[in-house]
Amino acid sequence: MTNETKLWGGRFTEKTAASVEAFTASIHYDSRLYKQDIAGSQAHAKMLVKQGLITAEEGEQIRGGLAEIEQEIEEGRFEFKPELEDIHMNIEKALVDKIGPAGARLHTARSRNDQVNLDIRLYLREETDRLVAILDDVRTSFVKLARRYLGAVMPGYTHLQRAQPLLVSHHMLAYFEMFGRDQERLLDCKKRINILPLGAAALAGTGLPIDREFVAKELGFPKVTANSMDTVGDRDFAVEFLAACTLIQLHLSRLSEELVIWSTDEFNFVELADSFCTGSSIMPQKKNPDIPELIRGKSGRVVGNLMSLITLLKGLPLTYNRDLQEDKEPVFDTLDTVSQGLAITAEMLAHLKFNTARLEDATKTGYMTATDLADYLVLKNIPFREAHSIVGKTVAYCVKKRKELTDLSLDELHKFSKVIEDDVFHVLTIQGSVDSRKSIGGTAMSRVSEALQKAEEELGI
């Protein structure tokens, strides 16, 4: 392509080097912004007509031309040209070729610097809503599991050592909370995405009589940005978006790790559906948890994408710099990775089976009601530190005698504390332990039922 035919070719006498065209092109990834680019241009053109900057007829030609281009792209009939660099110039050039002089007026009072910012905001605005909806599916899967297994007990862990008994449903609702915070974060971030940048032009605003508020209304933005220089160099909203997505990915990864561990023979807490596992090419007996493993593995790229974007922004002088073109690939990659991970997790959870007999068995060893015994002593007026030490000695005795706390007789218990009475035996049971934890947010059946009901109301299920 000669520079005469390039939209910015006027001041150039030499042809752009082929290597430069290839190096600067972003069309192979920013073509995904075509819908947003066209929507932005349609609103911009409407405003130009209203302000008398172009005629109604020119506006009409632009409207029709852009609509045709959109259809061509949708039907795969549009030819994207790398020598036209990006989505903005590919569409604008196609418009000029299609409708002539009217097309050449579209870029009045606009720069690609505010245009690209607009496109990303429009795109992320939609994508945050889509992610929030998929998060609802994941949260629904957890709530359904919590309902299905209400009453089932399992060991709770700290340091991956058996700690205190829990309801399986309590564990499921922990993830319901985590993914709920993720939704809040996305919606909060959307407030800063949802501001119109168009009208900042190249960096300093424009001398032409535009109406930014009108464009904002057309595109459904509640506000317009306040400072043109800040606007064209701003990708903070994209960093926030990637940070929110990174936390989602970390939550997915932690869940995946648990599923991998729980599905080992050593734990045998859950059974992943055959349709969500794969086999080994050499070991016929294998059923591997590849889905959670892959999700866990994809955390690397998601964290990496956040680091890329942060590093990209560090040290950029105001205002727009071409470096900013590097913002899109990390954003798109994270978005694809996280939304895929969420969707498949929701599906996998719907097929997940807990091995409740095995879970209950696992609560029977590991002295998991030791804290309950200490709390029992506290209620008999023994200072907690002293109670801790008494129970510590009792556990050491059990380890030596190869007994569980529940195997001890009252006489044996009296060796450690005289205040212990018959009522201790209920305290030492798994059910007694779980049911005693009635503090707000605790694992008692009454609290978990309450939380579950609230969750179901929130999701409308």
Task: Give the binding site for ligand ARG (CB under 6 A).
Answer: 26, 86, 112-113, 116, 322, 324-325
- Give least dist CB 15 to ligand ARG, A: 18
Indicate the residue among 119 and 372 with the shorter CB distance to ligand ARG: 119
- Give least dist CB 26 to ligand ARG, A: 5
Instruction: Give Cα separations from 450 to 90, 180, 184, 412, 447 (angstroms).
Output: 56, 17, 22, 39, 5
- Give least dist CB 254 to ligand ARG, A: 34
- Give least dist CB 42 to ligand ARG, A: 19
Which one from 19, 159, 281, 439 is the annotated catalytic residue?
A: 159
Give the pairing type, strands 195-196 and 223-224.
parallel
Instruction: Give Cα separations from 307 to 37, 197, 302, 330 (angstroms).
Output: 27, 25, 9, 9
- Give least dist CB 112 to ligand ARG, A: 4
How many residues make up the chain in this entry? Answer: 461
Give the pairing type, strands 161-167 and 353-354.
unpaired
- Give least dist CB 344 to ligand ARG, A: 31
Mark whether 280 is an active-site residue.
yes
Percent of the chain that is helix, strand, coil (3-state, to 5): 65, 5, 30
Q: Can you read off the two tokens belonging to residue 320?
A: 């727009």
Indicate the residue among 246 and 319 with the shorter CB distance to ligand ARG: 319
Q: Is the separation of the CB atoms in 270 and 263 below 8 Å? A: yes
Which one from 28, 280, 351, 446 is the annotated catalytic residue?
A: 280
Contacts of 152 (CB under 8 A, 6+ apart): 167, 168, 169, 354, 356, 359, 360
Q: How far apart are CA 353 and CA 110, in angstroms?
A: 56
Q: Which residues are paired to 166 by β-bridges?
A: 154
Indicate the residue among 3 and 288 with the shorter CB distance to ligand ARG: 3
Q: How many beta carbons lie within 10 A of that of residue 266, not counting itself?
A: 8
- Give least dist CB 53 to ligand ARG, A: 21
In terms of Cβ atoms closer than 10 Å to its own Cβ (0-12, 13-18, 19+), residue 285 is exposed
Q: Is the separation of the CB atoms in 92 and 189 below 8 Å? A: no
Mark whether 169 is an active-site residue.
no
Angle at CA of residue 145, ends 288 and 267, nearest 5°: 40
Indicate the residue among 85 and 182 with the shorter CB distance to ligand ARG: 85
- Give least dist CB 306 to ligand ARG, A: 19
Helix (H) or strand (E) holding 292: helix 290-297
Indicate the residue among 123 and 354 with the shorter CB distance to ligand ARG: 123
Q: How far apart are CA 30 and CA 35, in angstroms?
A: 11
Indicate the residue among 113 and 183 with the shorter CB distance to ligand ARG: 113
DSSP assignment string, 159-172: TTEEEEEEEHHHHH
Indicate the residue among 26 and 337 with the shorter CB distance to ligand ARG: 26
Q: How far apart are CA 154 and CA 168, in angstroms?
A: 6
Q: How far apart are CA 153 and CA 362, in angstroms?
A: 9
Indicate the residue among 3 and 389 with the shorter CB distance to ligand ARG: 3
Active site positions, annotated: 159, 280
